[in-house]
Amino acid sequence: RVACDRLDCPVWDIPTSHEFVDWLFEEQRTATVTDLSGSEITRSLTRYVKEHVGGTPFEIIEFTKLLRDLGHVNLNQVSGRVVATRPVAKAIHAGRSLLDTIRARLAYLDGAAPEIGHLLRAVGHFDDAVPYGLFAHLRQKLVGSVSDDALAQTGFLVIPEPAFAMRNTEVRFQHEHYFQAIQRETPNHSDVQRYVSLYLDWLSEQHELSLDDQFLLARARLQQDGTLWEERKAELGSVIKRAAQAQQVAIQMRAVRLMVDTFAWSKAGKERLTIADMASAALQEVALCETLVDSGDRILADQRLQRALTILENLSHGRAPNELEDLPSLFLARIRHLCTRVQALRNNGETARALAVAR
């Protein structure tokens, strides 16, 4: 599920990248806050960007946003270019990649405006977009009096005007890399429980929950302290059933993926589930991977099938005698996995590997 914009830009060669940096910086024509002239500050900053940033326009632009956050440049709202105001006196702690720069911007917010950092992480805790009503709830609870301008200046979110916000209107990240940077963080337990509690509070106030809302509720309950294993499993299973009945394949497959990852292939799942349960989960995994193959995500499908096959091969060891009667269903599930993996490899052009698996 991607509600926010995807970025797909080839890496530029060094001359093209440097030419773009030179164009991006406007000449400073007013008085500066240092003894250096505007031209000297501009040359200093363009040289720093060329030496420390990767080779795509998105990496360069995001780094200039970090420079703006740190007070080194201003943004010309008319031209979309930047004006150098202060040279870099000490090294900026950011890697060359786009995600590294975004992480550095989030770290800056953690110091300068921690409540905005919390809001961004709460919005991106589950998905790359949230309903406007949920966003308003999160904002009220987490940032209080922060102005619209302060929130907009970060550039992380696309927020509709309240007057035009309908029930299905979403607040989304400006592009997917902002969301991915947040998803790759490891939040502490107390923050997770705080975000989950806010989500559950908002969901409990809704008179009617859409299928998307029901899936969000099931995911929040998965992370809530004190929720019983069987309750979590039943809620997620109910979402899968309703999505199948409504022919909402996207939600169904996302819920299936979460189900098998949480309740089957995890360490706790392998310890709790019977062979019959695991065989059922294996067939759900096959359905998921067939969908991935059809959508073109064949490499992920092969990785998931390979992991599942490894688990299934070792599943019968140490099981009670009364469970061994379910081994035929497990065997059939393995056959389905192997067939689907062969299909994924063949569709990905890996004929030799497909033949090896088939043998």
Contacts of 26-31 with C-beta under 8 Å, sequence gap 24+, read: 26/76, 26/79, 26/81, 26/82, 26/83, 28/83, 28/84, 28/85
What is the distance between the alpha carbons of residues 335 and 342, in angstroms, rounded to a whole number? 11
Strands annotated E in 85-193 = 129-131, 157-158, 170-173
Q: From residue 178, give the alpha-carbon distance in Å to each of 58, 77, 218, 297.
A: 12, 22, 24, 22
Looking at residue 345, its pLDDT comes to 66
The 25-26 sheet, strands edge to edge: 25-26, 82-84, 73-75
Q: Across 21-30, 33-42, 67-76, which has the greatest mean pLDDT?
A: 67-76
CA distance 123 to 126: 8
Lowest mean pLDDT among 86-100, 127-141, 189-203, 335-349: 335-349
pLDDT at 33: 52
Cα angle for residues 218, 219, 225 (degrees, 5° grid)? 95
Tokens of residue 83, six digits? 């004006």
pLDDT of res. 163: 65
Q: Residue 347 contacts by C-beta under 8 Å, 6 or more apart in sequence?
A: 293, 298
Tokens 């773009």, residue located? 20
Give the DSSP per-residue string, 17-33: HHHHHHHHEEPP-S--S
Whether the Cβ atoms of residue 134 and residue 199 lie closer than 8 Å to each other: yes
pLDDT recorded at residue 212: 94
pLDDT at 115: 94
The tokens for 265 are 């292939």
The stretch 213-220 carries a mean pLDDT of: 96
Does the pTM exceed 0.85?
no
Give residue-wise pLDDT tens across range 300-315. 877 887 777 777 666 6
Alpha-carbon span 137 to 287, nearest angstrom: 36
CA-wise closest residue to 58 among 5, 112, 109: 5
Each residue's pLDDT tens digit, 168-191: 789 999 989 999 999 999 999 999
Q: How many CB atoms lie within 10 A of CB 298?
A: 20
Task: Of 187, 121, 188, 184, give the one whose Cα is nearest residue 157.
Answer: 121
Q: Residue 328's pLDDT is what?
A: 53
Report which secondary-structure segment, H or E, holds 336: helix 327-347
Nearest residue to 253 via CA among 240, 238, 269? 240
Phi-psi sector, 300: left (phi>0), alpha (psi -120 to 50), beta: alpha
| C-beta separation of 330 from 316 below 8 A | yes
- Residue 331 is predicted with a pLDDT of 53
Q: What is the pLDDT of residue 146?
A: 83
